[in-house]
Structure 1
Amino acid sequence: MLKNFFLSFLFLALAQPQSISSKLNSLLKDKFFDTCLVSIQVEDLTANKTLFKKNEKMLLRPASNMKILTSAAGLIFLGKNYEFTTNLFYDGHISNDTLYGDLTVEGGCDPDFTTSDLYPFIDAIHNLNIKVITGNLNGDISFKDSLYWGKGWMWDDDPSSDAPRLSALNLNDNCVELLFENGITRLSPSTSFVKILQNENDSLFVVDRDWLNNTNNIVVRGKPRENVNFKINIINPEKYFLTVFKETLDSNHIQVLGEINTTKYHPSGNFLSAVKRKYSDVIINLNKNSDNLSAEMTLYAIAEKYFGRPATAENGLKKINELIDSLGLDSRNYRLVDGSGVSHYNVVSSELIVKLLKYIYEKFPAEFELLYESFPIAGIDGTLENRMKMTKAYNNVYAKTGTLTGVSCLSGYLTSKKKHTIAFSIMMQNFVGSSKRAKDLQDKICEILSSY
């Protein structure tokens, strides 16, 4: 009798995980996986047990799942209260309404600085009753190195907003927006830094950069049939920042007589104002909207804090590799080259991602909450806004998407039917055409896990 009781208990204990395993294995027999590689690991963090794994050690491209490593490293090594700071200084002397000297903006790799953030600087200048600046408008870009893209970023991603130029001085995601509305073409922000070259006689509507001369001129051929917007990255983001700043000063009746220069901050300058942005705010845009600039600037901030200036991606990645080693894994078994996952050179495993998600959950409860809340929510917001609606995974899956050509990943957390916290990573690579089928299969996996 006692023997039968224990056998029944054992059967009940194993039934649920086997059910999940059976359902997932059945799903993975889909013809899609005849040619597409897949790596999956699922961990019940509440019960501290593995629910499913397949090819979990296989090295695949993470795409934007790389942001999980970068954003987690930001929480651990920078902290939620770290501030991306853009400082404004002046040198020389002020007489009446004139500054006889220069203005210098010191870049702090703030990825979310926009045109509206220039107005605290305008107010600070107005408070000193300055209307004329006889000197130059300088930009200190010494915070980071001079590399404008990550290693392995592809030339044909240009001029996409997904491949922004990287600088210590960033403005509007280092992009301009081209708006076609009711037959009128305009730029946002309106700036002389970018010129539109328009030829409406072409039958095919095309928007592209002036490749031949490698300039910020935007070539528009033909006319759109409806109102559309295009976001295009710009070359020399620090000069873009300074140009828009100078134009904003001018529109607010502050005239700069000198030139725009990039330089290093002169230590004798007088502090005037600062715009500060906490990492706890940056991580939301980083993960919810999969913002590549935010991820790369986080990597540079880590590098600058621990290794000094000029910050490099390599130094930031040293700290992420330290984090990987602390998981009980060997960082030498993976290749990381950027913070955003834009590069096809990155290779990691679903095992690594789940171990990191588990590590944050167990060792850093406060940071876990911030990481969890920064992830897109299925059917609600971010890059998961239009996925898993009308399913059990709706409003339950908090996960980071990842997409490159031939790559689709989804990793994060969900709550099971038993109210257990589940960490999972799904990586798919080497398919042709749209990623829709890969995403549909990922969504089905999340439905199965949500029913556990």
Structure 2
Amino acid sequence: MPARIDVVGENRPAVVRLLSCLLLSSLMLLALTASALADGFPATSALAEKGFVVGAQARLLDSGESLGSIAPDQQMTPASVSKLYTAAAALSQWGPQKRFTTELRSDGDIVDGVLKGDLILDGGGDPGMTSEDYWLLVQGLASRGIRRIDGRVLASQWRFGPVTCVTTDRCDARTRTRHAFDAQLTSTAVDFATWCTRVMPGEAEGVPARLASCAGTTPLTQVDNRVTTVAQGNTAISAERTTLNGQDTLVVSGQIPLGSGPSSVYRSSANPTDQTLKTLESLMQNAGIAVTGGFASTSTRPSDSTQVLSAVDGKPLQEQILRMLNYSNNFMADVLALDLVSGNPTMASAGATLNAFANGIPGHGPVNLRSGSGLTPESQTSARGVTALLDYMYHQPALFPVFVAGMQTPVNGPMNFIRRGSQRFQQSVMIKTGTLNEPVPVRAVAGYFRTQSGRWGAFTVMVNGRAPTPYINWTTTLEAVSSDIDTMIASN
């Protein structure tokens, strides 16, 4: 029977020394273990020395072997890496061939080419509806011989919209913006809730440039044209959308040289349903369909007595996800997240739905997503969590090809800023990045890699600032990450 250690009297100092040694040994072991794991990210770990919070993890997906980590359980802001959760949840719920249907409905009769009653646009929550899709809807009416609507054209947002903004970007964009990423959200949008204007040189030096809608010859909203045609030089155009009394105005400034091709400008609309109605009005005019009752929005669901006069099925989900991830489209991501919610979706319920999905992933850990796009700086997850998501999707054979196809391989991806690191790194990884600059800088990157021997791995690196400064750019971040992942690729 082992002797009992009595921690009293003369034995106390010796026992205290023994316990201190054991504690020191344990701390040294933990430090060595942490150091060994961080050895997988030596370049990335140096970013923490510059005052940034860093979380990272990498593992092989066939064996689960860890290749390195830095504070993998640290809760951090993922920015647009959040879109990986949206893509995974949508694929898991609907499968790659899901299509959203947008309909034109009415309970009126068609008599001698006249629709006797209101025409209702039943927005299906399609995140990718374009002007071309609405053209098809209108052509469906024309094919029925409709030449006049004796009633109103109503855009129904009964599924969701206008969705209350929860970020500074979107709230500010209700009155003014210089961006396209801050578009408002509705189930009845067109062209990702952004105005697109083409700028072309005038016929002579010194005259104003010519402007047109990207979908037609005339801009669909009010335009203040301050672009001048110049004899030579570079095209330099800036644009701002302002809104006063419900009217959007695009203020377009700069210069465009003679002989230049068109330059497209995208700015989010303040009221995407109004933009949709203006698009429908223009398309109906072009198709020779008159409307006597005007155009308006409604939140009322079309009654069961209405019949479908024209319908368009949107692109399959696999194509929508490719576009959403490749171009990091915030509008598409947040609309998809809202589509996942039954009932009356809000940004809060969309985030809760994504959290529930993440909580079902083995080994994920805590998560608190506030949006599907990542525009919300309050969103939190960990490097371990994102890597667990990537691991989970890798092991879904029917979904993984679509999921990974939406990510970018740096050597040929549409975003030039990710073309960093060795050729081996650029050709062997598929990644999604995330960027925020306010209230603190965020640079996040996650994805898959193939090793020299053909094995699959997954990794996540998130770098968050502690304050608005110091600023960190993507070159610094990707040079560190690519160096570390390249070593893992070469070593396995």
TM-score, normalising length: structure 1: 0.86
Once the two structures are TM-superposed, the CA of residue 378 in structure 1 deviates from its matched residue by 2.0
**Closer, same or farther in 2 for the Cα pair 1:18/1:434, shift >3 Å?**
closer
Structure 1 residues 265-287: Cα deviation after superposition (integer angstroms, max 9, x where no partner): 23211112221122122111111
The alignment status of 1:74 with 2:118, answered yes or no, reads no
Distance 1:356 1:20 in 2: 24
Given that 1:152 and 1:344 are in contact with CA atoms closer than 8 Å, whether structure 2 keeps it comes out as no
1:194 to 198, 221, 227: 221
Cα deviation for residue 338 of structure 1 reads: 0.6
In structure 2, what residue type is equivalent to 1:442?
V
Q: How does 1:114-133 map to 2 (within 5 A)?
A: 114-133=130-149
* Matched-pair identity in %: 20
- TM-superposed CA distance for 1:21, in Å, is 5.8
Q: Give the SS at the match of 1:217.
A: strand
Letter aligned with residue 424 of structure 1? F
Answering whether residue 396 of structure 2 is matched by residue 352 of structure 1, we say no
Provide the residue aligned with 2:195 in structure 1.
176
| Cα distance change, pair 133–20 in 1 and its aligned pair in 2 (3 A) | farther
What is the Cα deviation at residue 187 of structure 1?
3.3
Match of 2:114 among 93, 98, 117: 98
Distance 2:421 2:482 in 1: 10
For 1:86, the equivalent position in structure 2 comes to 102
Is 1:269 paired with 2:295? no
Whether contact under 8 Å (2:420, 2:475) holds in the other structure is no
2: CA distance, partners of 1:59 / 1:197: 46
TM-superposed CA distance for 1:19, in Å, is 12
Task: Give the superposition deviation at 1:437.
Answer: 1.4
Matches within 5 A, 1:220-231: 220-223=252-255, 228-231=263-266
CA distance 1:246–1:213, shift in 2 (3 Å): closer
Say if 1:71 and 1:25 are closer, same or farther in 2 by CA, change over 3 A.
Answer: closer
Match of 2:370 in 1: 337
* Map of 2:394 onto structure 1: 361
Judge conservation of contact 1:40–1:424 (CA < 8 Å) in 2: yes
| Alignment-derived partner of residue 129 in structure 2 | 113
- Map of 2:17 onto structure 1: none
**Counterpart of 1:3?**
none
Q: 1:207 to 1:145 in 2, by over 3 A?
A: closer
Question: Could you say which residue in structure 1 is the equivalent of 2:165?
Answer: 149
Change (3 A) 1:262 1:381: same
Give the counterpart of 1:167 among 167, 174, 186: 186
Deviation at residue 108 of structure 1 after TM alignment: 1.1
Q: Which residue of 1 aligns with 2:359?
A: 325
What is the alpha-carbon distance in structure 2 between the residues aligned to residue 447 and residue 33 of structure 1?
Answer: 22
Deviations 1:26-63 (A, max 9, x none): 31354674222211100101122111111111111101
Helix, strand or coil at the partner of 2:358:
helix
Partners of 2:456 and 2:148 in 1: how far apart?
A: 60
Q: Distance in 2 between matches of 1:213 and 1:389?
A: 50
Alpha-carbon distance between aligned partners in 2 of 1:244 and 1:121, rounded to the nearest angstrom: 12
Q: Is the 8 A contact 2:193 2:269 kept in 1?
A: yes
2:352–2:369: 8 Å Cα contact kept in structure 1? no
Q: 2:338 aligns with which of 287, 300, 304?
A: 300
Q: Cα deviations across residues 368-420 of structure 1 (Å, max 9, x unaligned)?
A: 22211121122112436851476102332111111111111110111111211
Q: Which is worse superposed, 73-82 or 50-59?
A: 73-82
Per-residue CA distance 1:240-259 (angstroms, 9 max, x = gap): 11111111011111111221
- Rounded Cα–Cα distance in structure 1 between residues aligned with 2:428 and 2:284: 47
Deviation at 1:445, TM superposition (A): 2.8
CA 1:227 to 1:117, structure 2 compared with 1: closer, same or farther past 3 Å? closer
Structure 1 residue 185 and structure 2 residue 211: aligned?
yes
Q: Distance in 1 between matches of 2:170 and 2:323?
A: 23
What residue identity is the alignment partner of 1:141?
Q
* 1:162 and 1:292 in contact (8 A); partners too: yes
Deviates more, 1:57-66 or 1:426-435: 426-435
Q: Measure, in 2, the Cα distance between the counterparts of 1:200 and 1:152.
A: 30
Residues 5-39 of structure 1 show CA distances to partners (whole Å, capped at 9, x for unaligned) of: xxxxxxxxxxxx99996864431354674222211
Determine which of 397, 402, 414 is the counterpart of 1:370. Answer: 402
Q: Is the 8 A contact 2:58 2:459 kept in 1?
A: yes
Deviation at 1:150, TM superposition (A): 4.2
Distance 1:233 1:82, change over 3 A: same
CA distance in 2, matches of 1:228, 1:240: 21
Alignment of 1:196-275 (within 5 A): 196-199=223-226, 206-210=238-242, 215-223=247-255, 228-263=263-298, 264-275=301-312
User: Following the alignment from structure 2 to structure 1, what is the Cα–Cα distance between the partners of residues 363 and 168?
Assistant: 25
- What RMSD in Å do the two structures reach over aligned CA positions? 2.9
The aligned counterpart of 2:411 is: 379
CA contact (8 A) 1:376 1:384 kept: no
In the aligned structure 2, how far is the partner of 1:336 from the partner of 1:137?
37
Q: C-alpha separation between the residues in 2 aligned to 1:352 and 1:37?
A: 16
Output aligned runs, 1:384-395, within 5 Å: 387-388=419-420, 391-395=423-427
**Residue of 346, 365, 378 corresponding to 1:312:** 346
Structure 1's unaligned 5+ residue stretches are: 1-16
TM-score (norm 2): 0.80
- Of 415-424 and 228-237, the range deviating more from structure 2: 228-237
- Asked if the contact 1:20/1:449 (under 8 Å) is kept, the reply is no
Q: CA deviation at 1:104?
A: 1.0
